[in-house]
Amino acid sequence: MTQTAAARYLTALAEYGVESFFVNAGTDFAPIVEAYAENLATGGPTLPTPVICAHENLAGGMAHGAALITGKPQALMVHVNVGTANVACAVANASRDRIPLLVMAGRSPIIEAGAVGDRDLPIHWSQEMFDQASIVREFVKWDYELRDPRQVDAVVDRALSMATSQPQGPIYLSLPREVLAESADEPAVPAQREFTPVSATVQPDPAAVAEIANRIAAAKFPVIVATAAGQEPTAVPLLEEAATRFGIGVADPWARYLNIASDHPNRIGSQVAEVFAHADVVVFLESDVPWIPKREGPADGTYIAQVGVDPLFSAYPIRSHRSDITVSATSTAFLTELIAALDGRSADIDLSRAEAIQQVASTYQAGVDALRAQEVAVQDETISPALISALLGELLDDDDIVFNEYVSYPDLLSRTKPGTYYFLPASGGLGWGLPAALGAKFAAPERTVVATLGDGAYMFANPAACHHAAAKHDLPVLTIIANNSNWGAVDGATQLAYPTGTAVANAERRFSDLSPSPDLAAYCTASGGYGVTVRNRSDLADALKAALHAVRVEKRQALVDVRTA
């Protein structure tokens, strides 16, 4: 049976288990469009569901969010070089977060005349590049160009295998229009199949685990510091078990996932300086920046272990944090083996050390509780980001998911279950939070999904495109904006570098002023959602309750634009 390479490609994606196809289309999509139409007209096999996105960053962010929730690789396709340029920020985020994405882009036709899909518009000359993949090559694990219809199945297999092998990450595949339009024979293969098997885990060296277990067993105040261990939801209960059973403290500075329940009695907080003040053994687990040397560092006698899929973070050009032992392992595999090794040393562990650890944890939690009480007790009408988090934390259910782009206070959100909290990827590509939340809602329509953003991050997200997608694809997500008409990160960086500089006293010279703020709620209402602007503290709780009612009960998107002090 003969079909086009485009049809064969889409069918192969489906056969390998890819269910969704996030797209921002262009002239290069003609064979893809025709393949979908032909499939529908002839009653062909089920193809990945196309999810139309009005901007490439939206497509990349939605695929990212869907991958986080499902744990499966996602596919997205954009328009030649210009689409690749627009999606580059999302690819950088996926790269640093190790998200398995198949990032595809059409390629301007090479043939000027004489073939289906050849050049028929002026842009087919001007959009051709000598090396289109170079736009994203530093962020992807593998890039390739489909050259012949007979390659389709091998290329899909290779792409998925590369994206899902550890450390996981995005790949980039360019698809020339005239190649997609060529005929391709359908191979005699089963309707469902697996791509080239790749181990989902990286097992640690047993001798290295034994060494770390010995150090922890003999320690007075051992601590595991986790930044991104919770990307594997199965690692969270293991980390909690290790902490509880063996008297180990846990800290989660710059956490990009929920690594441990916020109320765990051994969680000593989110400050690595506090860890170094007490710990004699520290295991950094999936921590790309364990500490910032100009601010703090471990004492000479503190034993340091660094553990992760790629514990050297080899994609980072320079990273020189010391380590007494460095172990390659996925978090779940490492913690499983560590628990087993500590079981064998239980007689050597002085569990009374847990009292000191839990005292530090209790002091930290008391500070969180005091901040919550302080925020709620303020008498004037000003609103702070901390108050937003404190009130939201009281309203969220255990299974609700929060995507935080800078402004939420995780401790005040009181998240306790794996997979319920996500923070901006390490690359810092803004405009991620709302698209990722939409992708999560697409993957888990039964769950409540909330995006907490600053106004700058919200504008980076191409809000008109995001709210359009929420309406078009029936994705009732709640967006909460802490709107101070300012880029706080810009001010913070300036003040860190020049604490007594001229800019500190001159706001107009800081390059951070975003005033006057647009009517951000109007973006949401323009797409049929519930939108409200809150300026007074006394109105905030009711506004949040009404917005949650809109997404949970009315099943429509909502946005609360909170004007903060």
The answer to whether residues 244 and 346 touch, using CB atoms and an 8 Å cutoff, is no
Question: To the nearest whole number, what is the mean pLDDT of the chain?
Answer: 95
For residues 168 and 224, state if they share a domain: no
Q: Where are the strands (E) in 65-195, listed by range? A: 74-78, 101-107, 143-145, 171-176, 183-185
Going by pLDDT thresholds of 50, 70 and 90, the confidence category of residue 551 is: very high
**How far apart (Å, rounded) are the C-alpha atoms in residues 437 and 40?**
30
Same domain assignment for residues 415 and 491: yes
pLDDT band at 327 (very low <50, low <70, confident <90, very high): very high
Question: What is residue 540's predicted lDDT score, i.e. its pLDDT?
Answer: 97
Q: Is residue 372 included in any domain, yes or no?
A: no
Closest by CA position to 518, among listed 438, 456, 564, 466: 456
The pLDDT of residue 296 is 95
Predicted pLDDT at 84:
97
* pLDDT digit string, tens, across residues 35-90: 999 999 999 999 999 999 999 999 999 999 999 999 999 999 999 999 999 999 99
pLDDT tops 90 at residue 272: yes
- Across the range 316-339, mean pLDDT stands at 97
- What pLDDT, in 10s, does the model give residues 132-191? 999 999 999 999 999 999 999 999 999 999 999 999 999 999 999 999 999 998 776 555
Q: Give the pLDDT band (50/70/90) at residue 493.
A: confident
- Strand pairing partners for 404? 423, 452
140: which strand partners?
none
Task: Indicate if 391 and 350 belong to the same structural domain.
Answer: no
The DSSP call for residue 205 is P
Q: What CATH number is associated with residue 341?
A: 3.40.50.1220
Tell me the one-letter amino acid at 354.
A
The pLDDT of residue 554 is: 98
Specify whether 144 is located in the same domain as 249.
no
Residue 547 lies in a domain: yes
Whether 525 and 399 share a structural domain: yes
For residue 25, what pLDDT band results from cuts at 50, 70 and 90?
A: very high
Percent of the chain past pLDDT 70, that is, above it, reads: 98
Q: Give the pLDDT score at 189.
A: 59
- Tell me the pLDDT band of 483, cut-offs 50, 70 and 90: very high
pLDDT of residue 497: 87
The yes-or-no verdict on residue 193 having pLDDT over 80 is no
Does the pLDDT at position 1 exceed 60?
Answer: no
Please say which residue of 330, 361, 392 terminates a domain: 361
Evaluate whether residue 369 is within a structural domain.
Answer: no
Q: From CA 442, how far away is CA 473, in angstroms rounded?
A: 8
For residues 437 and 529, membership in a common domain is answered with yes
pLDDT, position 199: 81
Report the pLDDT value the prediction gives residue 194, as an integer from 0 to 100.
Answer: 72
Q: End of a domain among 152, 185, 218?
A: 185
Check whether 127 has a pLDDT greater than 70: yes
Q: Do 214 and 147 fall within a single domain?
A: no
Calculate mean pLDDT across residues 258-269: 98
- pLDDT of residue 112 exceeding 80, the answer is yes
Kindly state whether residues 98 and 225 are assigned to the same domain: no
Does 192 reside within a domain?
no
- Percent above pLDDT 90 for the chain: 87
The Cα 416–Cα 526 span in angstroms is 35
The enclosing domain of 123 has a CATH number of 3.40.50.970
Domain boundaries, position 312: 206-361
- Residue among 18, 89, 84, 5 nearest 51 (CA): 18
- Under the banding of pLDDT at 50, 70 and 90, the label for residue 206 is very high
* pLDDT of res. 228: 98
| HSE toward the beta carbon, residue 523, CA cutoff 13 A | 24
Q: Mean per-residue pLDDT for 264-284?
A: 97
Instruction: With respect to residue 198, please indicate whether it lies within any of the assigned structural domains.
Output: no
pLDDT, average across residues 485-501: 86
Tell me the pLDDT tens digit for each residue of 338-362: 999 999 999 999 999 999 999 999 9
Q: Is residue 373 part of a domain?
A: no
pTM over 0.85: yes
Tokens of 420: 């319920």
Q: Residue 374 has what pLDDT?
A: 95
Say if residue 375's pLDDT is above 90: yes
Which structure tokens are listed for 352?
A: 């009374």
Residues 169 and 103 reside in one and the same domain: yes
Same domain, 412 and 351: no
pLDDT at 490 over 90: no
What average pLDDT score do residues 301-311 get? 97
Cα–Cα distance for residue pair 437/477, rounded to 1 Å: 7
Kindly calculate the radius of gyration of the chain based on its CA atoms and give it in whole angstroms.
Answer: 25
Is 194 among the domain residues? no
Last residue of a domain, one of 329, 361, 393: 361
**Cα(520)–Cα(532) distance, integer angstroms:** 9
How many domains is the chain built from? 3
Average pLDDT over residues 451-479: 97
159 shares its domain with 19: yes
Q: What is the pLDDT of residues 275-298, one digit of tens each?
A: 999 999 999 999 999 999 999 999
Q: Using a CB cutoff of 8 Å and minimum separation of 24, what contacts does 516-523 make?
A: 516/485, 517/455, 517/483, 517/485, 517/563, 519/561, 520/455, 520/458, 520/463, 520/481, 520/483, 520/559, 520/561, 521/559, 521/560, 521/561, 523/463, 523/464, 523/467, 523/559
318 shares its domain with 431: no
Hey, is 176 helix, strand or coil? strand
Give residue-wise pLDDT tens across range 505-523.
Answer: 776 667 888 899 999 999 9
Of the pLDDT bands very low, low, confident and very high (cuts 50, 70, 90), residue 192 is: low
Q: Looking at residue 313, what is its pLDDT? A: 96
Domain-located, residue 191:
no
Residue pointed to by tokens 């320690």: 219
- Is 390 or 512 the better-scoring residue by pLDDT? 390
Rounded to the nearest 5°, which phi and psi values hold at 109? -55, 140
